[in-house]
Chains A and B, each alone.
Chain A
Amino acid sequence: MRDGNLMAIDPDTAVGHFNTRISGWYSDIGKT
């Protein structure tokens, strides 16, 4: 990481995101 390229994350605007429905996380459990 070079100085000057570090882009600080603003905790007031930072977001979390899931692109797929949460129910999809568990649908593959147990599948081979």
Chain B
Amino acid sequence: MNLFRSKEHVHQWALFNPESESAITPVRDWVRLVFGTLPRYTQRLAPDYLARAAEHSAGLPAALAELSQGSEFWRLS
């Protein structure tokens, strides 16, 4: 994930892909819906993290769907 100061800075980026417009999302939403809540990210220091990685990742597709409001760009497959 690239981090930018603002949406306008994303548009100014020379390599910006116009098809990725729906992939510009506030960092606060990322933390609220994904990085701060999913065990895939919150349990990374757990001793059994790798053994439970698949279990921890189970909620990722739904979280991305909510974050993207169903955008096709975010489909995992």
- Chain A interface mostly: loop
A1-32 contacts to B, CB under 8 A, are 7, 9-23, 26
How many residues in B have their beta carbons less than 8 Å from beta carbons of A? 26
* A21 cross-chain contacts in B, Cβ below 8 A: 19-20, 73-75
Within 8 A of A (CB), among B16-38: 16-17, 19-20, 23-28, 30
- Kindly report which residue of chain A lies nearest to residue B72, judged by CB atoms: A21
In this assembly, does B50 line the interface, its C-beta being within 8 Å of a C-beta of chain A?
no
Is there an interface contact between A14 and B20, defined as CB atoms closer than 8 Å? Answer: no
Distance in Å: Cβ of A11 to nearest Cβ of chain B:
6
B74 and A16 form a contact (CB under 8 A):
no
Give CA–CA (A14, B30) in the complex, Å. Answer: 11
Question: Known: A22-B73, A23-B76, A26-B76. Contact between A15 and B26, CB under 8 A?
Answer: yes
Residues of chain B whose beta carbon lies under 8 Å from any beta carbon of chain A: 1-7, 10, 15-17, 19-20, 23-28, 30, 64, 73-77
